[in-house]
């Protein structure tokens, strides 16, 4: 008797890096040169000053490209760490970053923001008009 092999069709989940890339691609659609320049400088700002300070800086500037990048980072952090953030608004994200009981969470959030920014800056640079 021939044994039938069952073909299992599974939906392959994208890797975390693929998810970051897909989100970053959405973020840079329609971006301008100011956004591109800001995205290129963002990792250095975060590494030198910290994630919260960078988010506070972008919020305080109030320019469209600062607010857009700030929002993109916050939305991603909310999606990645839903247990830590009630929403993606600025105050909730800041509260979640400094109010967490896990001392390693701030570093995890910073690492995640930097990983996202690697994709955003690549895509933004590629989309920039020459």
Residue 8 in any domain: the answer is no
The per-residue pLDDT for range 9-58, each reduced to its tens digit, is 678 888 999 999 999 999 999 889 999 999 999 999 999 999 999 999 99
Nearest to 41 by CA among 24, 17, 21, 58: 58
pTM: 0.87
Q: Tokens for 72?
A: 């993109």
CATH number of the domain residue 100 falls in: 1.10.520.30
Residue 10 lies in a domain: no
How sure is the predictor about 3, in pLDDT bands with cuts at 50, 70 and 90?
A: low
Please indicate, yes or no, if residue 123 is contained in any of the structural domains.
yes
Return the DSSP state at 21: H
Q: Considering Cα of 94, then 95, then 99, then 100, what sign does the dihedral take?
A: negative
Q: Domain for residue 84, yes or no? A: yes
End-to-end CA distance of the chain: 66
Tokens of 14: 């994208």
- Structural domain count of the chain: 1
Q: Which domain holds residue 97?
A: 16-127
């Amino acid at each position: 008797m021939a044994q039938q092999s069952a073909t299992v069709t599974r939906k392959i989940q994208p890797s975390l890096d693929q998810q970051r890339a897909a989100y970053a691609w959405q973020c840079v659609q329609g971006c301008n040169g100011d956004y591109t320049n800001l995205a290129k400088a963002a990792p250095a700002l975060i590494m030198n000053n910290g994630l919260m300070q960078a988010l506070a800086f972008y919020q305080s500037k109030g320019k469209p490209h600062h607010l857009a990048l700030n929002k993109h980072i916050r939305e991603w952090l909310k999606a990645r760490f839903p247990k830590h953030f009630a929403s993606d608004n600025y105050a909730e994200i800041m509260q979640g970053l400094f109010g967490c009981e896990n001392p390693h969470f701030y570093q995890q959030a910073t690492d995640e923001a930097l990983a996202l920014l690697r994709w955003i800056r690549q895509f933004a640079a590629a989309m920039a008009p020459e």
